[in-house]
A = this chain, B = another copy of it.
Amino acid sequence: MGQRFIEQLWDHPWFELSSLAASERSAGKKYREAARWRLENELPAEVGDMKVVNVDPKEVQADVVFSALPADEAKKAEAEFAKAGFAVASNASAYRFDPDVPLMIPECNADHLGLVEVQQKKRGWDGYIVTNPNCTTIMFALALKPLMPMEIQRVIVASMQAVSGAGYEGVPSMAILGNIIPFISGEEEKVEREAQKILGTFDGDRIVDAPFDVSASCHRVPVMDGHTEAVWVEMAKNPTPAEVREAFLNFNPGLSDLPTEPKRPIIVRDEVDRPQPRLDRNAGKGMAVSVGRIREGIRFIAMGHNTIRGAAGASVLNAELLSKKGML
């Protein structure tokens, strides 16, 4: 995950990678010595040469801090950075449900940034924390956004999740080769709560959750990257598959050319057997969610790159929105 952040940022048009912070074990080393690079794109020499610092606001020089910390470390560290005046774009789950912290997908709820003022006032922080959702939530929550006018009542999601979502050592090969593991610790709980906040309404003071239920079943599959989700959506207005397809096609979040924003956040695949992770995960440089097989029910498939759209790219897109809004 940290590596995907570096990849998203190293040639970013707006941001410059100024500091790399990690646990004490790594601090003080050059990045190339602190970590083994695992991505296909080669680590740029200048990033490899950067010295890793401690996760300490005093050691970091930046306008915005990206966090891929484990939830428990994030709780403490992100507050320290926010207090010290940094904007924190966090991929961690620690603050997602704090009522004064926005849980953002820019294409869905850019106006939730209004919470930042509430947050700073309440906590007395100079900086602030903005979070993005869990990788599984992002794929279907983005797809639900254009369906909101049809009055969503209930959502059922069966996910088939890539191994990269668990980190490099997360899933042993003996566990998953030729196998399915029908369980991912803590995942269903997150997935079942996040979409309602993301698609909720900011009333000037807090978010009023969107009024639908989500029931999830999360499964690990032997796929490297790309979460595939079978989604059922019950809507009061009872649209046809053609109407749902139309809503997806017409979806225009009205952002203004953020660098990481895909041309189309939702790509509709009309082939009978798409989207597929191998073929579609890199659509929109990994930032588009591909949907397909829109059937009566309403049922459809949503698929996106879990460590780009679902994690590092999500945080970077949030930070771009902050920059655009003059909040950095």
Contacts and interface: CB of A to CB of B under 8 A. Distances in A.
A201 interface: no
A94 interface: no
Given A182-B230, A182-B292, A217 B174 contact: no
Contact of A293 (B176, B182, B215): B182
Counting every copy of the chain, the complex holds 4
Contacts of A222: 173, 177-178, 221-223
A174 B164 contact: yes
Given A171-B174, A230-B182, A160 B163 contact: no
B278 A40 contact: yes
Contact of A179 (B39, B277, B293): B277
A5 interface: no
Given A160-B160, A215-B232, A219-B160, A178 B181 contact: no
A78 to B, nearest CB: 26
8 A-B pairs closest in CB distance: A158-B158, A183-B273, A217-B230, A179-B278, A158-B230, A163-B173, A182-B301, A178-B178
Among A158, A173, A180, A224, residue most surrounded by chain B Cβ atoms (within 10 Å): A173
Contact of A215 (B40, B168, B297): B297
Interface of A: 38-40, 156, 158, 160, 163-164, 168-183, 188, 215, 217, 219, 221-224, 226, 228, 230, 232, 272-279, 282, 292-293, 295, 297, 299, 301, 303
B275 A178 contact: no
Contacts of A156: 156, 232
Contacts of A168: 172, 174-175
A215 B303 CA distance: 20
B181 A273 contact: yes
Nearest to A278: B179
Contacts of A171: 172-174
